[in-house]
Structure 1
Amino acid sequence: MDSSPETHDHHTSTDPLVTRLTAHGVHGVALTWVDNAGLTRVKTVPLARLADAAERGVGMSPVFDIYLIDDSLTSSRHTGGPDGDLRLVPDLDRLTALAAQPGWAWAPVDRFDQRGGRYPGCQRHFARRMTDRAAEHGLLLRMGFETEWVVTRDGTPAATGPAYGMTRMVELSAYTDDLLTALAAQGLDVTQLHPEYAPGQFEVSVAPTDPVGAADEAVLVRETVRAVSLAHGLTPAFGPAVTPGAVGNGRHLHLSLWEGERNLCADGDGPFGMTGRAESFLAGILTDLPALLAVGAPSPASHLRLEPSRWAGAFQCWGLENREAALRFITGAPDDPAAANAEVKCFDPAANPYLVVGSVIAAGLAALDSGAALPEPVAGDPVHQDQPRLPTSVPQSLDLFLRSAVLREAMGDELFEAFAAVRAAEAQLFAAHSPEELAAATRERY
């Protein structure tokens, strides 16, 4: 792990930024990070203190790395207890005036120790480090998340129209218009917004970008959806399972690999036109998917969602445009090779997006030099075929995570062990819960 002192060269003069934000009526800045429980935590500073925050950081205890979803604490070998302090340093390149929260701006933070060194438990540092490691292999990755949520009013779905039905867009026309307007005002390139399958469920997708940027945008999208929902008297639920036995919320990850201007997922000699490097990278993801599930579907509630025949990706297989496969390959239109990409369908909104992008890159890179090949693709519903099921509980996926030398090396002991401690503690926390109790305890926490 790199613990050398940092010079925050992207934290230049804040004067032009403050001037611009003042013109937008901004008075405060929310500084966020996502913890190992998948919750977005925050400290805020008045706009007049932004320069000081960028220069010196804002204090915060490292103990939040071992907080659980209910705000109770566990501990790990490196993290726990009341001692220590970190500095939260905002990334001013991502500073955004929040269109749905008048008076506020937002920036994600990187976390450093008191001497200015990289904090090894920082999830955003991890995502950037894996992105840099891919670049050392000559690869650029473009990633994007789909965000799904359910909106309710007074405890019942806020839209009664059918799945994917225009009726829902009519019922909540003003709401969805305000959402599109807010996302666009914040510079987010929305590619789709539509009703989903479950009652009151919607999905929004944004254009792909670099991995760290994709994780940043996943945070910004969710908080924008939350703010717009509350302004309309709606309650958003981002938990993996809103109603046990029904389709839950996913947060699928799309990714493509690039060498310069060439998309390695297209115009190759491999399956469905992918290049050899892309095939090996995807084979690494597919091979490590049972361990990656601890990162991408980390809550006990995740396994209420991960059921066969619900388009959740419950089986460790891949296929062309197969929405039941955990890894779905998409060729895109024949005249648009840039559209070719892969989708990891088994991930959900309980996951820390920075850990997701970093872990997926680590798994792909681990297979890159070996020339790993994908198995035969699966067509149709794998529930009717001899395909391996992904882990069906957190203890199962966590056991595989703990045995993953690839993920331990990539994360480093401090982050790896703190994350594992949170996952084990949450499994224990909810061990005696019924499905109904588990869904109720988690659906509105994220």
Structure 2
Amino acid sequence: MDLDDRTLQGARAAAAATRLADQDVIAVILVWVDTSGIARVKAVPLARLEHAATWGVGVPPGLDAFLLDDSVVTGRYAGGAPVGDLRLHPDLDRLVPLAALPGWALAPADRYAQDGAVHPLDSRSLLRREMARLSSQGWSARAAFEMEWAVSKKGWGDDFTPACNGPAYGMTRVSELSDYLRDVLLALEGSGVAVEQIHPEYAPGQYELTVAAEDPLGAADTAVLVRETVRATSLRHGLVASFSPKTELASLGNGGHVHLSLWRRDTDTNAMAGGDGPSGMTPSGEAFAAGILRHLPALLAIGAPSMASYLRLVPSGRAGAYACWGPENREAALRFITGAHGEQHRAANLEVKCFDPSANPYLALAALLAAGRAGLDTRATLPAPVTTDPAALPTQERDHAGITPLPTTLSESVEAFEADPVLRQALGDAVIDTVSVVRRGEIALLDDATPEQITATTRWRH
């Protein structure tokens, strides 16, 4: 970032501050997501926004090595001695007032070194880089995160007590918390989020919300905004929202499914439809999907990054525990959504079902794009689709079809992640090392914990 860029950013921030003052905003939250998937923040009074945009706000680099309990591990590129400083710069294009927190605005932030160089562990910049690499080959992607959360009547540190008692997908759950759900929708609308659907989910006290697809960086920003809006609205209603992969051991956990489609930039056409490949994919759409499927074991270290993730990622648990794909198959790790007849050209997309909300959404999308791009480069093809629950197939039939289980522990995922040359080349040694060190730190932290203890430790952290 040179002096001209800084001057331009300062001028834009000053104009934005004037607009926000007219909306009674008094402070701006600068948010980024750490390696453990937790949103970390600094905030500035509105009068300091121009300075923050021009020169940044100081933030310690050691936060990249935080675990979910705020303890710190040490790697080659993060952690260690508490020295050094980074500069946090708000992305003014994504600056929005928070309808759920009157008087506050939110801006996702990028992290730079003090000399203006991009911090190699800044996940928003990593995602921008992968988007640029895809663009250089004539492609773009559209993405969206599904958000599942469970609502409890009790406060922090307590056991989970479902805030509603109606049946799964039942109208009763809407009636029980209709004021709350209305306020969630109003707050999201007030912050510019295009909600497409909201409904009660399967687990006790659980809801799901889907939003419109957008470019990958926007999709990750929206995922953070949705989560923090839901969290703030819940607290204002005397409730607590959990985005943990496993809120209660005995019930299904929260998914953070990623929807992703590949588009030809010059014609603005969806490569996931209109072709003669599997389920109507074009050859490029198939190759993109095959690249993701091929790298799923390694991708789990980013998309299912917590010990609690593997309590959710079990066969027949609607989490996609097997490395396979299938059209509209909710038990496949990679579900292909065809879209309604007549809408396939717009709606066809991949749904990565094995990811959950403990993931850093920027890292998750950067890694998925890298895997998909590798599939494009090698013209990869998909295996035969799976049209049933793979767990219901006889073992011999699964083995013959090449349907393998995904890693069942975080340790297995980390080993696959470190050994994956495609992800290492795309993300860089600093990311590979830091992610691995943080994951092994959580493994050590919870190594002797029972599943119940893992669930309790993780419940209120995401």
Question: TM class by shorter-chain length?
Answer: over 0.9
Q: Which residue of 1 aligns with 2:157?
A: none
- What is aligned with 1:424? 440
The yes-or-no answer on 1:303 pairing with 2:310 is yes
Q: Which residue of 1 aligns with 2:53?
A: 54
In the alignment, is the contact (CA less than 8 A) between 1:6 and 1:118 conserved in 2? Answer: no
Matching residue's letter, 2:426: A
CA contact (8 A) 1:5 1:118 kept: no
The question of 1:171 aligning with 2:176 is answered yes
Q: C-alpha displacement at 1:16, in angstroms?
A: 2.5
| Partner AA of 1:122 in structure 2 | D
Identity of aligned residues (%): 53
User: What is aligned with 2:207?
Assistant: 202
The answer for unaligned runs of 5 or more in structure 1 is: none
How does the TM-score come out when normalised to structure 1?
Answer: 0.98
Distance in 2 between the 1:439 and 1:232 partners? 24
Q: How far 1:269 sits from its partner (Å)?
A: 1.3
Q: Residue 5 of structure 1 contacts residue 115 of structure 1 at CA under 8 Å; is this kept in 2?
A: no
- State the partner residue of 2:102: 102
Secondary structure in 2 matching 1:170:
helix
Q: CA deviation at 1:384?
A: 2.0
In 2, the alpha carbon distance for the partners of 1:248 and 1:5 equals 48
CA deviation after TM superposition for structure 1 residue 6, in Å? 9.3
Alignment pair present for 1:382 and 2:390: yes
| CA-to-aligned-CA distance 1:253-302 (integer Å, 9 cap, x gap) | 00111113211111011111110001001100000000001110000100
* Aligned pairs (5 A) from 1:81-120: 81-120=81-120
Residue of structure 2 equivalent to 1:184: 189
Indicate conservation of the 8 Å contact 1:159/1:199, yes or no.
Answer: yes
Q: 1:166 to 1:365 in 2, by over 3 A?
A: same
Contact 2:14 2:49 in 1 (8 A): no
Give 2:222's aligned amino acid. Answer: E
1:334 is displaced (CA, Å) by 2.0
Letter of the 1:381 partner, please give it.
Answer: D
Greater mean alpha carbon deviation, residues 364-373 or residues 88-97: 364-373
Please tell me the root mean square deviation across aligned C-alpha atoms, in Å: 1.3
Larger mean CA deviation between 407-416 and 107-116 belongs to: 407-416
| Residue in structure 2 matched with residue 13 of structure 1 by the alignment | 12
Report the Cα offset of residue 12 of structure 1. Answer: 4.2
| 8 A Cα contact 1:5 1:117, kept in partner | no
Question: Residues 406-445 of structure 1 correspond to what in structure 2 (within 5 A)?
Answer: 406-445=422-461
Q: Report the secondary structure of 1:380's partner residue.
A: coil
Q: How does 1:333-372 map to 2 (within 5 A)?
A: 333-336=340-343, 337-372=345-380
Unmatched 5+ residue regions in structure 2?
155-159
Letter in 1 for 2:435: F
Tell me by how many angstroms 1:333 deviates.
Answer: 1.5
Q: Which moved more, 1:42-51 or 1:364-373?
A: 364-373
> 1:23-422 residue pairs with structure 2 within 5 A?
23-80=22-79, 81-154=81-154, 155-260=160-265, 261-336=268-343, 337-385=345-393, 386=398, 387-422=403-438
Q: 1:10–1:158: structure 2 CA closer, same or farther, 3 Å change rule? A: same
Cα deviation, residue 7, structure 1: 3.4
> What letter is aligned with 2:385?
P
SS in 2 for 1:391: coil
Superposition deviation, residue 219 in structure 1:
0.4
Alignment TM-score, normalising by the size of structure 2? 0.94
Query: Does the aligned pair in 1 maintain the 2:9–2:54 contact within 8 Å?
Result: no
Aligned-partner residue type, residue 371 of structure 1: R
Alpha-carbon contact 1:161-1:168 (below 8 Å) kept: yes
Local SS of the residue matching 1:112: strand
